[in-house]
Structure 1
Amino acid sequence: MAGGLITDFSIHLHADYSSAILPLIRREDISLILLNIRNDHLTGMGLCEQIRRESPVPIILLGGSSDFDLARKALMFDVSDYLTDPVNPEELARSLEAVKRKLGPLSRSNTPSQAVGEAAGERDSAASCSIINTIKQYVDEQLHQNITLKRISDSLNFNCAYLGQKFKQHENMSFNEYLLRQRMEKAKLLLETTEMKIYEIADAVGYTEMDWFYKKFREYTGTSANEYRKQCFITA
């Protein structure tokens, strides 16, 4: 399926079967592909791989799952965006606008080599953003596990030092600082809203050693976990 839904995009072609898409790409001038993978994620990923062998055309995947491995595969195929099911119309609109901005320099610039360079730079920036979002999604889903940037970089087939540098540039903090913040904020939320035992909360945010959890929590909040919970009950 090719085309778009906002300014400067129009539905140009439509394909009901994946086998019809590659011939369309070969003979038509297509600037964007919207690919609905809601009913068959694996076939959708296979089609992305085939498209990438022949064309750098931007692809937005619609109706994906929240499964980290599928998002990682989409990233490897340089997909412009991966929208989970159900697709949010506002998110789709933002994705289309982002693609439009990437395509813009090619049509506005008078210098072809400069235009290609600018477009490549924007694609790299967008790819970095997608990588960072994938990392953050992984952290959110696996917060209770032993998370390391090395493990994530291996799963994404990236150099760990490179990924750490990109993350710091994008988030203005190191990956470990981000991970600590997510764990401590989740711990605070659980202390505020549940009756879970402290050791259960520590385990839920990825700490198997209680002394280490107590130390990190005090460093982060300036108080102990027990004192923090008491303060919440008093203020409530």
Structure 2
Amino acid sequence: MIDLKTILVVDDEPKTRTGLKKTLDTWALGKYEILCAASGDEAITILDERQIHVLLTDIRMPQITGLKLIRSLKEKKQKPVVIIISAYSEFEYAQEAIALGVVNYLVKPVDKQKLIEAVEQAMKVLKDREKAEMLAEMFDMQIVAMKDNVRSTPIKEALKFIHENLHEPFSLRDVSKRVHLNASYFSVLFKEETNMTFSEYVTRCRLQKAKSLLVTTDLSIEEIAEAVGYQTAKYFIKLFKEFAGVTPHRFRKHHLKKVEF
């Protein structure tokens, strides 16, 4: 079953609601699911039951206004991209909507082309947001937490060199020479300050970069292996599976599926 992105249209005027849905259904061609709600209460019920990716809501509605509906999203786990639709073009409404994170503000009667453009923009915002969230999930928290513990200048310089040269093969001895330390002492100091061996740290950094390239580029597995300093794709795939639990191909397929619209 295909996991469709869902758009929710909220408007208390039946004619407007039907017109917006018809326009969006024609545009979507089955690529997106278009739902409707006749009130803020009905919208909240839908939001409690379904994942909504884009929310189009009128500002002026009885009981729960569009702005109140948007504010209520903060109490929920969902964070749809929001477009405001209103017959009221007063600046204060637009100001408050923008402050609440609304990406577009359309004035009734809504032009069909402007509606479609607004939804396409919202989908782009959603895609960028989901990619950013995915990349944040990819950060190796062990690496992030470790950085605050590093005190000595040689290890800081070593970390800088490692991050700037992940595309090149290098050894502990190469880096120790770079920071003017004996290899044995450098190895002990590195472990003491990072709580990781030099080899483990470099591997984690290379694989973190590989994860990012798998999701954000069209590079082949072979090209990514080379870009993160591995001379053979076979060894890269073996190492990636050991650390990530899946092959690079499966990792890419799983994460790209989340942002394919």
Q: Which bin holds the TM-score, normalised by the shorter protein?
A: 0.3 to 0.5
The structure richer in strand per residue is 2
TM-score (norm 2): 0.41
TM-score (norm 1): 0.45
